[in-house]
Chain A
Amino acid sequence: MNTEIIFHKGTKGSGVVIELIYDHARVLFDFGAPFEPLAQIYDGKLNKRLRSRVKDALLLEQIPYIDGVFPASDIADIDLISAEDSQYDTIVLISHLHLDHMSGIDLIHPDIPVYMHYNAYKLQKCLEEIGESVHYRDYSYFEYEQMLTIGQIEIIPFFSDHPCYGSSGFLIKTPTSTVFYSGDIRFHGLQSKRAFDELTKISKTPIDLLIIDGTTYSNQEFTYDADQTLLSVPSKKLLDHCLSENDIYRQLKDELSKTTALGVFNIYHRDLQLITALIKMAKSTKREIVFEPKTAYLVHELLAIRPKVIDLENNTLVLDQRSYDFVDKQAIIDHPEHYLIQNSYVNILELIDYRHISGIYFHLFGEPFVSATKEYKIMTNVIANLAWRFVSYTNLYAFNHAYPNHLAYMIAKLNAKTVVAVHSRSPEKMNPVHSKQIFPIEKITYLLVNGDLIEKAS
């Protein structure tokens, strides 16, 4: 009996969905739609349908056609085997809660367990509370290095240094093969040492197939102006002109220390690690960090911190006054030099209330992500009209994803027989070091034999 593997999505970009089967057991890892900010179907005008949400997600290619995953009542007349009629025992593993890895999880049949790290699980619960995720089903959780099994498939989750709370990679073993899926990963974050240490742990198990996050191979996601050849040389070193996460906080601190202007930041609040660092950094500049109510809720629930909160005119979340310190807008206007406040794009109109004071706006990887979008232009126009300074980081993806030389180091260290780059528009730019690089075709069933992918006869 062979292990079978199907790459449903993610070989040419984000939105990774991979299926691994052994006998009657099956693991799906990650379940998100591709991140395409310039071609979003739900543009804010188009109504999302309620009863047809699974069917629409399939037809609109938001989720792949996979037999045995969706409820019979939801797939309507679509030619798919329902979860009820599936021949497999299935579980779904979610590496982290960025939408391109998990946007479809609530469409999965409620009887199929969907696992994520305990921190991600707690975050998911909070997202449901604040209305960022609709509660359609329950989820399961794991801890790092705590084995999960489904049939004869064993899964060991490992810590991954990605800013999203509770990020993981998965070592997946069947009786015939071992696969490691990195999830989204980086080695220049604040937990760089731990990330490299995890590699040492993982490398103790011989790996047949390494499936690695290759985001930074693409010029659209990461540009490097210095010597390009250095990028493919395996090393733990942070190359010149590559910023570490810490470099960004140092720059922020620097900027905030030399101004009396109001500090404003825009983040993606699922990235709790970034929030933790900002809280620390604000303290070192003697500024109060003030969150919007929804983020404050996450901070309070997940980081056990009593945060400072600013009320918003369109706020829809009622917070328990006893657990939060509310800051008056006028106090901020009177003493902008004492504050660093959060502003999400959805609340950008709140900035108009600060039009009479000076400010500095840090776009710290929050929405809108991509400069080519209309929303990004509106955001920069608003900041320009306020006559504030706008600080952003061009290599948006490099904040969250490993630099190519670090990936080469990881590939060398894990020394898998074969390697597949996913989550990248340019997987061919990967240096596979001593491993053999494979370019699987999506939706084809492969037999995993000694690390190689052999197309299964139909």
Chain B
Amino acid sequence: MSNKTTLTFYSGLDTIGGTVMALSYGNDRIIMEMGNAYDPLTDIYNKDVLYRKRSFLQDALWLTTAPKIDGIYAKNLLGDSELIPAEASNINTAVFISHLHLDHMCNMGLVSPLVKVYISQKALMIENSLDTIGKGIISQRNNYDFLEDKKPVKIGAIQVIPFLLNDDSFQDYSFYIKTPDLKIHFTGDLFVYGKYRKPILREIAYLKKENIDILVCEGTSFMDSIKKRVYPNPDEPICGTLRLLNGLYTKNQLDKRIISIIKAHQDLCFINFYQREMSDVQDFEAYAKETDRCLVYEPDTAYLINDFFHRAVNIYLPDSAYYLDNDAKWLKQVLEYNHLITQKELKDNGHKYLVELSYQNTLELLDYIDIKTSYLHHSGEPLGEYDPAFKQLNMILKKTNTEYINLFDDRFFAHAYPNQIQYYINAIDPKILIPVHTLNRDRFQASKHGKRILVELNHSYYYDNEELLEVKNNEH
């Protein structure tokens, strides 16, 4: 198949996240993303079981949390695995990472330094800060190449054009790929709200004009719990439109809602958001300004902000060995560089503050049992009832008489809604649609001139005459 581009999916077809797709032409190959779908119910590393640093890759391959791909892992980490090590491979490979969510990149550190990994420079900056505070991924490499908006990357005969969709925070990219016989687009995570909208519309127009062959599209929101927010009647067909249906919030409406909630509360408000999202930090700073409150961060987040924005913030010190019994340089730096707010101050003047409270420090609420407190849940773990930690969180909130407020109110979801995804597909009108990163591939509909193909894991395909055909064993 040396004169045809082949496409192989190793994981992430029927899971939220963890999509790993290889695209090869001749001796050139690109791999889209290196994440793993996280499930709190089955994650072996969730509690007492610690990573084995030396055997991490072998364990991950056996546990199927890392993809079995020849030629991308270092020999010394593969142990007795039958995979061909990177050192012995004649394939010219590069890995591309769309953004810094773990389900897209948690295994990128396992890739041999001999293989190029492309990621946003800002994302790597945050990952390096996370690594310093002990929350980074397992990694054996520190050489990365950086993506730039629309600047093509050539991996032999394969050309990858990264589209920058959000310049905030760690940046989000999608990838348009051209080979001698194929034009294919990989969405990464698809967002259309707020500042994503314009770049996505530009992307649609570009791809439409390009008349692409294959669209590999994520479909997180097709899951029941999100779909029903758009279509309460399960039998209602999904219609392609960018409009928000059924009273769902725009980002602007969400911002206003959050500000009005904070204004309506005269008590000490705790917030829980996803620590690595520097764009959330900017949002919360805007909310704090609008409501005359000061934001106070946990030391970990403060370190990320110090590194990313190069400025000091307010911090508090949770009562935990992680902070109190820790002589790490980063923590000393945080304590020296930032402004420490005492617990007494937070208690006496609660109405003046918005305090970050990640799940790991939830027991801090026990110190505020005698004052009125609210818990504003944004995007921090645990995200919902599917996570056993959510039950724990509720138990502690109840015990401490803390009011729980879901800021999203089930009316805001970051990923594009089913009708928006369908609009995107219809507008681009690819010849082949490959749904990934979803629990409901069957809910995707092909566009007017295209076909929807439900590919199988570890099977290879090639494109010929507007068809996606499976590579037979003897054709490899």
Contact = CB atoms under 8 A, between A and B. Distances in A.
Nearest to A345: B48
Given A56-B366, A345-B48, A47 B361 contact: yes
A50 B360 contact: no
B318 A47 contact: yes
Contact of A47 (B49, B59, B322): B322
A248 interface: no
B44 A47 contact: no
Chain A CB within 10 Å, residue with most, of B49, B321, B367, B369: B49
Nearest to A378: B44
Interface in B66-103: 80
B266 interface: no
Interface in A336-357: 345-350, 352-353, 355-356
Interface in A374-425: 374-375, 377-378, 381-382, 385
A314 B69 CA distance: 27
Contacts of B370: 77
Contacts of B367: 52
A43 B389 contact: yes
A367 B49 CA distance: 12
B342 interface: no
Contact of A49 (B41, B47, B363, B389): B363
Interface in B343-371: 359-364, 366-367, 369-370
B42 interface: yes
Interface band, chain A? 35 or more
A55 B366 contact: yes
Nearest to A348: B49
Nearest to A76: B367
B48 A346 contact: yes
A353 B389 CA distance: 31
Contacts of B46: 44-45, 374
Contacts of B392: 41, 43, 46
Interface in A202-218: none
Interface in B387-433: 388-389, 391-392, 395, 399
Contact of B399 (A39, A60, A356, A377): A60
A43 B359 CA distance: 11
A314 B320 CA distance: 23
Interface in B21-72: 41-42, 44, 46-55, 58-59, 62-63
A158 B85 CA distance: 63
Contact of A313 (B54, B318, B324, B325): B54
B68 to A, nearest CB: 14
B360 A47 contact: yes
Interface in A40-92: 41, 43-52, 55-56, 59-60, 77
| Most chain A C-beta atoms within 10 Å of own C-beta, residue among B46, B47, B361 | B47
Contacts of A51: 319, 324
Contacts of B59: 349, 352
A350 B51 CA distance: 10
Nearest to A51: B319
B49 A56 contact: no
B325 A50 contact: yes
A48 B42 contact: no
A346 B359 contact: no
Nearest to B46: A44
B361 A352 contact: no
A347 B52 CA distance: 9
A153 to B, nearest CB: 35
Contacts of B62: 352, 355, 385
A346 B363 contact: no
A347 B367 CA distance: 36
Contacts of B391: 39
Contacts of A44: 46-48
Given A56-B366, A59-B366, A374 B41 contact: yes
Nearest to A61: B399
Contact of B49 (A46, A345, A385): A345
A45 B389 contact: yes
Interface string A305-323: 0000000011000000000
Interface string B306-346: 00000000000011111011000000000000000000000
A320 to B, nearest CB: 23
Interface centre among B53, B54, B367, B399 (most CB of A within 10 A): B367
A350 B366 CA distance: 38
A182 B281 CA distance: 57
The 10 closest A-B pairs by CB, nearest first: A44-B47, A47-B320, A313-B52, A49-B319, A346-B48, A47-B360, A51-B319, A352-B62, A314-B50, A50-B321
Interface of A: 39, 41, 43-52, 55-56, 59-60, 77, 313-314, 345-350, 352-353, 355-356, 367, 374-375, 377-378, 381-382, 385
30 contacts: A39-B391, A43-B388, A44-B46, A45-B46, A45-B359, A46-B360, A47-B318, A47-B363, A49-B320, A49-B364, A50-B321, A50-B324, A51-B319, A52-B319, A52-B363, A56-B363, A56-B366, A59-B366, A60-B366, A313-B54, A314-B50, A314-B52, A345-B49, A346-B50, A348-B49, A352-B62, A356-B80, A374-B41, A374-B46, A378-B42
Given A41-B395, A45-B359, A50-B325, 13 more contacts: A45-B360, A46-B359, A47-B320, A47-B321, A47-B361, A51-B319, A51-B324, A59-B399, A346-B50, A347-B49, A348-B44, A349-B49, A374-B42
Interface of B: 41-42, 44, 46-55, 58-59, 62-63, 80, 318-322, 324-325, 359-364, 366-367, 369-370, 381, 388-389, 391-392, 395, 399
